[in-house]
Amino acid sequence: MAQQVKLSKELFEPIERDLHKAEEITRPSLTYWQDAWRRLKQNKIAMVGLCVLAILTIMAIVGPWLNGYTYYDTNLKMKNLPPSADHWFGTDDLGRDMFTRVWYGARISLFIGISAALIDLVIGIIWGGLAAYYGGKVDEVLMRIADILYGLPYLLVVIMLMVVMEQGLLTIIIAMTITGWIGMARIVRGQILQLKEQEYVLAARSLGAGAARILFKHLIPNAMGPIIVTMTLTVPSAIFTEAFLSFLGLGVQAPIASWGTMANDGLGALRYYPWRLFFPAIFISITMLSFNIFGDGLRDALDPRMRK
């Protein structure tokens, strides 16, 4: 146990009681977002995820210009070269520079992931918001439709659509969002059902605010925490779906490179030219890992119940 400390009375002196001081707030008051950011900063793993994502984004922007090759120029004299000072990640079976292609693929994969998440967000907010705000019959109809669509096996639907539609970037995004928004709609609906009974909504309504104003100015901003977490976790699943589709030969068409198509190309060459699979594979995994750990950290930071 701790040492015995002698505490004599002389060590203490009375402080004059100041009634005004007692009411003073000494610490700066934090908004919800400042508080969440503070908690997020303490989560080292999540911050590593965030930093990696930042680096990946920067490299996706500048990477394709860094070593003077293009993602589509072929050079048959230089095919299947291992990584070297000239071609940092080696070359593929048509002599295209893998480093440039990997970062070009990062653009495509991140673009698909983020736009899928954004479209899900917009449809989900409108659908779920309307269902929850109006309740009753509207809710019943909207959510029944969502329930039925939710019952459709996601990847099968996406594959069917990809088979039928013309292949391309836009098609992939459409195919993924056509049933992808339902999760978001459910989250938004759940949040707004909880929020809409609160007094500030009543206050807004009695001040004459319309449905759209209440929904977008009052309810959605307060439901933003779970919405953002869902979005962060949608991105890796969209990136995975794109890679999966490309791997089945249903993704973006050459010469556009995505990580999925590159992994698919590299698969056949695994035994002799493993780097052709290795680089796209490692970057898909790192990206998904970063989004996942960042999303987990964000969820812990934004959920007040996780406060210790």
Partner 1 sequence: MARYVARRILFVFITLFLIVSATFFLMKAIPGDPFTSEKEVPKEILESMKEHYGLNDPLYVQYGKYLLSVLKWDLGPSFKYKAQTVNDIINESFPVSFTLGLSALFIAISFGLILGVIAALYHNKWQDYTAMMIAVIGISVPNFILATFFQYLFAMKLNLLPVARWGTWEHIILPAFALSALPMAFIARLTRSNMLEVLHLDYIKTAKAKGLTKFVITYRHALRNALMPVITYLGPLAAGILTGTFVIERIFGIPGLGSHFVTSINNRDYTVIMGTTVFYSIVLLTLILLVDLAYGIVDPRIKLSGKGK
Name which position in 58, 61, 152, 306 contacts partner 1 (CB under 8 A): 152
175 is an interface residue for partner 1 by CB under 8 A? no
Structure tokens at 190: 């759940």
Residue among 88 and 247 whose Cβ is closer to partner 1: 247
Stretch that binds partner 1, among 33-41, 82-90, 216-224, 240-248 (CB under 8 A): 240-248
254 is an interface residue for partner 1 by CB under 8 A? no
CA–CA separation, 169 vs 18, rounded Å? 68
Residue from 268, 263, 279 nearest 83 by CA? 279
Stretch that binds partner 1, among 8-16, 78-86, 209-217, 246-254 (CB under 8 A): 246-254
Q: Write down the least CB distance from residue 278 to partner 1, Å.
A: 9
Residue among 193 and 224 whose Cβ is closer to partner 1: 193
Residue among 5 and 156 whose Cβ is closer to partner 1: 156
CA–CA separation, 114 vs 120, rounded Å? 10
Q: Write down the least CB distance from residue 35 to partner 1, Å.
A: 23
Residue among 231 and 293 whose Cβ is closer to partner 1: 293
Using only C-alpha atoms, the chain has a radius of gyration, in whole angstroms, of 26
137 is an interface residue for partner 1 by CB under 8 A? no
Name which position in 2, 15, 156, 207 contacts partner 1 (CB under 8 A): 156
Total of chain residues touching partner 1, rule CB under 8 A:
35
51 is an interface residue for partner 1 by CB under 8 A? no
Upstream peptide bond of 14 is cis (omega within 30 degrees of 0): no
138 is an interface residue for partner 1 by CB under 8 A? no
Stretch that binds partner 1, among 1-9, 34-42, 156-164, 195-203 (CB under 8 A): 156-164
- Write the binding mask 259 to 298 for partner 1: x where contact by CB under 8 A, - elsewhere: ----x---x--xx--x--x---x--xx--xx--xx--x--
15 is an interface residue for partner 1 by CB under 8 A? no
Compute CA distances 159 → 172, 174, 190, 292, whole Å. Answer: 10, 12, 30, 24
Residue among 201 and 302 whose Cβ is closer to partner 1: 302
Residue among 104 and 294 whose Cβ is closer to partner 1: 294
Residue among 115 and 290 whose Cβ is closer to partner 1: 290
Name which position in 153, 200, 202, 211 contacts partner 1 (CB under 8 A): 153
* Contacting residues toward partner 1, per CB under 8 A: 147-148, 151-156, 159-161, 163-164, 236, 240, 243-244, 247-250, 263, 267, 270-271, 274, 277, 281, 284-285, 288-289, 292-293, 296
